[in-house]
A and B are shown apart, each in its own frame.
Chain A
Amino acid sequence: MYVYDEYDRQILTERVAQFRNQTDRALAGELSEEEFLPLRLQNGLYVQRLAPMLRIAVPYGMLRSDQLRRLARISRDYDKGYAHFTTRQNVQLNWPALEDVPDILAELAEVEMHANQTSGNCIRNTTTDQFAGVQADEMVDPRPYCELIRQWSTYHPEFAFLPRKFKIAVNASDDHDRAAVQVHDIGLEFTRNDAGELGFRVYVGGGLGRTPVVSPVIREFLPEMDLLTYLEAVLRVYNRYGRRDNKFKARIKILVKAMTPEAFAEKVEAEWEHIKDTPSQLTPEAIERVKAFFTEPDYASLDDNPDALKAPREENKAFDAWVKRNVDAHKKPGYSIVTLTMKKTGVPPGDASDRQLEQIADLADQYSFGEARVTHQQNVVLADVRQDQLFELWRAIRPMGFATANLGTLTDIICCPGGDYCALANAKSIPVAEAIQRRFDDMDYVYDLGDIDLNISGCMNACGHHHVGNIGVLGVDKKGQEFYQISLGGSSQRDASLGKILGPSFAREEMPEVIEKIINVYVDNRTEEESFLDTYRRIGIDPFKERVYA
């Protein structure tokens, strides 16, 4: 994991001092609310429905155990004793006091954490695959490149006041896309050219929200050394020509669409021509330096599927189900990737208490070289667990609430905080998730249904990524009443697609019933080995419509 040097430390210390100064001036009335707004947002601080909300950055989802412990302490000392893992691999505190935020940021800085640019019209936290560096099928470990992007985008002087927020995601796996790169402002996908050189396929102009778009490719191959100069060219074109007259039309996807992807790409190329050979071009030494922070931990030499795993799997059905669902293959023999699910029925998806954060820290120390990762599905990953310790780990995490063996299933719901917390929301989302989880409480049935992404957003800002859920649920407001609109067929995978709206929306209490009807159409129509999405793509939306609105 990246470790700060003197430069990073000093810059961050100065940042904390800067925000303290800004907060003091805001509290003293020297900064108007309007003037303070972008400053506090760029330090992670929202003012929400019930209280301020502080969004803490977790660059590319990686956390050390000491950082987890510090988050636990902060959530206890300054908040109500819990934190929330978000769909952007960040952590949110829901109840900090505004005047405490500079102190919280100072505490975070001590463990090399911050809330930089987690909100506001600037370049946000760059996200990537939560399995980066440990899976067998990736071309290269994307994290060093994410770190280089992080540094480049941090306090970028030209791009702190963009037309709108700006999100970048990186994927390095040929088979999967756990970072949903095609629904980001910029998606970067590692690829090699005919000469075998490493580079990126560049997608620009995807995104969810009010106008969901699966992004076009604007460059098939960008050499790796040109990463930052090309990003700069894209951002400069966006900064200069993105719409500023209407915040709903200000995202880069609208600009790319209006110009056409081809014309946009030409404009970027023309800009890039001027800057590609400047000192901002990366160097092999610079990449090597950052790569040195993401080297392999001290793996033992082990064999796959040891007796210490085989025997308990045969004897214990629940453990076996958990291994099947929540444990993934690792590139090193004898190791596994474990996902701790934060989706226990009755607990808001992604919420973790201070005690749980400390438990995760302890688990990371004991089983996974002191590191954990946050996923955009709001779960937590231990990336380097010995297979012969899986049974012991499972027994340890069951009482902690992390062993719900539903990863990737219908009840592993992505869900924004919704109207319970968020000032933007039109409807609650957490109770909907809970009601659906309760309806589908028979795990054997849930396993039989296989992989299904069910995503819930409480408003069209789409923090719950409902557009790319196989089943998407969107909270809508009709004359002050909460209703829920369903879409089907979305995917954030390599075959990314946007869900299609099923029809008129439903009252909250109808939701479990409606989801059940949708699932029954799948069960009645599927062929063997067909996933929900496969069946939907084969039979189309009509059979679902007929059953649900019958």
Chain B
Amino acid sequence: MPELIRHDGIHNDEWTLVSKPEEGQDLSLPDGPALLPAAVWKENMDRFAGRNDIGIWFDSHEEPEVYADMIGDLPVIAVNFPKFTDGRGYSIARLLRERYGYEGELRAVGDVLLDQLFYMKRCGFNAYALREDKDSAHAEYCLNVFSNAYQAAVDTEQPLFRRRAS
């Protein structure tokens, strides 16, 4: 079973990431907990009412604004990094946490590399599906590489200039 890094360590990942269905193709759900493409989930929301084993995932170009009122109860939201150099997922994560109040598990998926983990954590992610070829043994160092940060972000409400001035 694939690994999932959370802030308390490495876990088995029981969730299946469902890809976007091709045109004309029906949605087929796997057994067990599933992460659905956000748009697909939205279209079929009624089907999943009351289930706690359905989450969604956003692609980097998608707008969480559209889903703002619907996502509060979801157990897991994932944000895809199609390439590690595509930084849109960081903004999406902050918006989900800071603007839309999402408090469940927020996962980084896709091209997730070690050296981005610290930034991801600061933007509100708390779970990471590291790209398969990367060694999760390094994750703890990379998640905590800095002991402090200048800016406010999801993990730090007070920017350093306020903490210094007080």
Partner-B contacts on A (CB < 8 A): 5, 7, 10-11, 14-15, 17-18, 21-22, 30-31, 35, 38-39, 121, 148, 151-152, 154-163, 228, 236, 239-240, 244, 274, 278-280, 282-283, 285-286, 289-290
Contact = CB atoms under 8 A, between A and B. Distances in A.
Interface in B62-89: 84-88
Contact of B85 (A10, A30, A121, A283): A121
B147 A161 contact: no
8 contacts: A5-B164, A158-B94, A161-B116, A236-B91, A239-B88, A244-B86, A279-B157, A289-B164
B118 A157 contact: yes
A280 B162 CA distance: 8
Choose among A157, A158, A159, A283 the residue with the greatest number of B CB atoms under 10 Å from its CB.
Answer: A157
Contacts, number: 109
Interface residues of B, number: 38
Given A148-B161, A274-B99, A282-B161, A10 B148 contact: yes
Nearest to A290: B161
Secondary structure class of chain A's binding surface, majority of residues? helix
B145 A280 contact: no
Nearest to A150: B150
Contacts of B157: 279
Nearest to B87: A161
A5 B166 CA distance: 15
A283 B162 contact: yes
Contacts of A152: 150-151, 159
A224 to B, nearest CB: 13
Nearest to A39: B115
Interface of B: 84-88, 90-92, 94, 99, 113, 115-116, 118-120, 122-123, 135, 141, 145-153, 157-162, 164-166
B165 A289 contact: yes
Given A35-B113, A161-B84, A239-B88, A151 B148 contact: no
B114 to A, nearest CB: 8
Nearest to B113: A35
Contacts of A282: 161
Choose among B135, B158, B159 the residue with the greatest number of A CB atoms under 10 Å from its CB.
Answer: B159
B164 A155 contact: no
A244 B81 CA distance: 13
A158 B153 contact: yes
Nearest to A232: B151
A3 to B, nearest CB: 13
A244 to B, nearest CB: 6
Given A35-B115, A157-B118, 13 more contacts: A11-B148, A18-B145, A152-B159, A155-B119, A155-B149, A157-B123, A158-B87, A161-B85, A240-B88, A279-B157, A280-B159, A282-B161, A283-B161
Contacts of B147: 10-11, 14
Given A121-B85, A239-B88, A289-B165, A157 B153 contact: yes
Nearest to A284: B165
Contact of A239 (B90, B99, B115, B166): B90
